[in-house]
Structure formats: structure tokens, C-alpha cells
Amino acid sequence: MTIRSPSPQRDRIVIIGAGFGGFQAAQSLAGAAAEVLLIDRNNYHTFVPLLYQVATAQLEPSLVAYPVRTKLRGMHNVRFLQAEVKRVDFHHKLVDLGDNLIPYDYLVVATGATFHDYGVPGVAEHAFTLKSLRDALRLRNHVLQCCEQAAFTSDDQERQRLMTFAIVGGGATGVELAGALAEWLRGAVRRDFPELTNWGRVVLLQSGSSLLPEFSQRLGNYTHRHLGRLGVQVHLNAKVTACSDQGIELSDGDAIAAATVVWAAGVTANPPTLAQPSHQKAKGKLALRETLQLVEHDNVYAIGDVAYFEQSGEALAGVAPAALQQGVAVARNLRRQLASESPRPFRYLNKGRLAIIGGYGGVGSVLGINFGGWLAWLMWLLVHVVYLPGYRSRLLVLLTWVQNYIMGDRALRQLSAQTYFKS
């Protein structure tokens, strides 16, 4: 069945994906002279940078999942459809939902990224990832179950395996998760499971020669030292060659027994299935013009992790600020096209980068100034509160952080995924 526009005299803009870029584009098109339809498999927007805090019991899931329809209230030309996109047909200008077809005049592809296992055997079957709320809850429940089992096993070797948490990837996600897990083990787990006081072990493996390669070498070294003080065992130049339910194997022949392996070693683009091939770049990203339009199609845009965009000879990193700026730029260009004007080139304004390490430590690079310590930690917290959608979420997250960091109180309880998801 083909779902027609309720306003056939107006152009229809379809946006696939309610991540940072797609969600921002939909909001920026409020009041435009077109019908806007935002499609996503979930009816909430996930604040991905805080998923690791859900996984480590710092935040509850509802605080990082904002209802899409709530944000779109009052935007009379913007509608939301919860559905799974099966295929996109550029030639016939159709989005295939399996049981329905959605015609469009303009299309925005903002389908994000998925984890990249680099062909390492066993990763897809045995490693955890952190790309969705389901992922975070699965990891959280698994870690707690490991603690419950370890507390009552008499086998020291098995107890050590259960209490070893290996994180593969020394970028921001891996570093932030390693620091949070180390704090959790030293705090709440130690209080609730006193018999496990000396058993918790966090191992961070990085294939390169430095942590946080997107920052300077000095900040990478600072991060290494800070994590060491938290008790994290950092292995540089460590390449994982296999993963199983017993742990991981390394290229030098060593093996690490671990009941929990988290894969944070990189992502690859997650474009929808295309009826016609499109020019793709590194890691499956869609090739773009400087206006964010696809190379082959004037009426199709791509933003965020699914898009390959170069600026000053370098590929734009897949970070939330870039996706947000692209969302605004695409909306602006679509308005120009609706008015029969030419789209304008996109320029990303890099305001800097921040990463939190744990233990009141962080690193930052802002306006060419590199710094680390509590100031970077505080700036990270404030920036993420500002970017959170919804005043209620911002207030509750801020209050939760005050409780966690000042009182050191985290609730250790398992949350069933069925509490939040039907499937």
C-alpha cells in the first residue's frame, strides 16, 4: 500500500532516522512549505553519548530516551512514523517499509552507524556493543549477573573470569566506559558485594600506540595515567584476533579470560538497503557534495555517521555536534530548494572536543587549547546537560549526577529489557 501525503499540493520531505542529525533536521523544518515525515524504528530519540552511564547504572534508561512526538508537538507540518525502512528506491522516489510505500519529493538519510568488527571471529556473537538503549541495558544486566554469580562461586579461576571486563577500543567510548566501570567496581559493587572487593578487573585494549587518538599525544598519555590510577589495565598496540564466551585472544598469542567483552573499536555506516547502487566512501558512507546532497541525486541528502563529508581535505568525524550542524544546514538547503533556489555549501564549525575519564578527570581541546583534569570533566557534564533534549531530562540528569558524584550512591539492580521494550 502506498501512503499518500495528506497535503498533495505540497512537497513531501522524508527523513529516515531520528538520531542527532535527523531529529535536528525535522525540528529545523518546522513551518516549512512542505510536509515533513520523520521515520524511525523507535519512537524515542536516544542520547547516545550517555549510554555508557546507563550501562554502568549511573543513569536510568528513561533519562536518555526522549519521546520524539513530545518534541514535535506544535510543529503542524512535521509528523512521525514508527517503522522499519526496508529499502529506498531513488529512481521512483519511494521508501519501502515492507507493507507500505512512502513516496517522497526530497529525502534525508540519517540512519547512523553500526559497530564494525573488522572481521574478527566471534565478535558479533559474543561481544557487547553500545549503540542503542537495548545494548546498554543488556550490558548492565550482564555485568550485574556476573557479580551475582561471582559472589557465590568457589572456583577462583571462574570468579576472576566473571569479574574481568575487557573493553576493546581506546577511543572516547572505550575510555569513558572503562573509567565508569572502574569507579563502579570500586564503589557500589564493593559496598554491595564485599566478598568481591579485590576481584574486579577492567582491561582496556587499544590497537594503536595511544589512547584517544583524536586528541593530542599529551592528552592521550594523561588519560593513560589517570585510568591507571583508577585501576584500569591499559594495553596499547594490542590487536584482538578472536572473541569467545571465555574471553579474547591477541595477536601476540596472549589470551585474556573475561566473561564480558565490550567492542568499542569503531563503527561503520548503516545506510538503508538501496534499490540502486550509490557512490560510497570509507566504511560504507554515502559520498556527498559540499551541499550535503548525494553525488548522484539533487533531492537526496545524507547526514551524520552515514555520510562521508570532507572539509579542508579531511573526513568529518562522526560526532554529535557535526550531525546537529548538518541537520540545520540540510533543513536550510531544503527550504532554499522549495523556494527554487540553489543549496549552499556546508561548513562545519568545530567548537572543540571533550571526553570524560572518570574519577573527576577529563580531557578537552577547545579553540586550540588542550587541557585535562577536573575542568574538562565539569565542562563535559555541562555540555551534555545542555545538549539533552527536554528540560525535565536535563534537570533529572543533573540531580542524578549530584547524587552519584557527591553521595556516591548508585542503585545496583537488574532491569528487564521488557520493562522498556516489547521485543
In tens, the pLDDT along 111-135 reads 999 999 999 999 999 999 999 999 9
Residue 114 half-sphere exposure toward CB, CA atoms < 13 A = 8
35 is catalytic: no
| Whether pTM exceeds 0.85 | yes
- The answer on pLDDT for 266 being more than 70 is yes
Catalytic annotation, pick one of 125, 158, 176, 341: 176
pLDDT over 90, % of the chain: 80
- Beta pairing partners, 2: 101
The mean pLDDT of the chain is: 92
* Cα distance between residue 60 and residue 37, in whole Å: 30
Give 67-95 pLDDT, tens digit per residue: 999 999 999 999 999 999 999 999 999 99
Contact 214, 171 (CB under 8 A): yes
Give 406-423 pLDDT, tens digit per residue: 766 666 565 555 445 543
Q: What domains sit in the chain, N to C, each tagged with a CATH number?
A: 11-115+267-338 (3.50.50.100), 117-265 (3.50.50.100)
- The answer on pLDDT for 150 being more than 90 is yes
* Cα distance between residue 283 and residue 44, in whole Å: 27
- Beta pairing partners, 40: 82
Give 187-245 pLDDT, tens digit per residue: 888 888 999 999 999 999 999 999 999 999 999 999 999 999 999 999 999 999 999 99
Give the CA angle between residues 86, 65, 292 to the nearest 5°.
55
> What residues contact residue 130 under an 8 Å CB cut-off, 6+ apart?
51, 52, 55, 136, 139, 173, 177, 262, 264
- Output DSSP code: residue 187: I
Give 348-360 pLDDT, tens digit per residue: 999 999 999 988 8
Whole-number pLDDT of residue 413: 62
Whole-number pLDDT of residue 297: 94
Give the CA angle between residues 367, 368, 374 to the nearest 5°.
80
Query: In the structure, what pLDDT confidence band is assigned to residue 4 with cuts at 50, 70 and 90?
Result: low
* Cα distance between residue 47 and residue 49, in whole Å: 6
CB contact burial 92-130 (16+ within 10 A = b; e otherwise):
ebbbbbeeebbebbbbbbbbbbebbbeebebbeebbbbb
* Cα distance between residue 224 and residue 252, in whole Å: 21
Give 291-311 pLDDT, tens digit per residue: 999 999 999 999 999 999 999
Give mean pLDDT, residues 320-332: 97
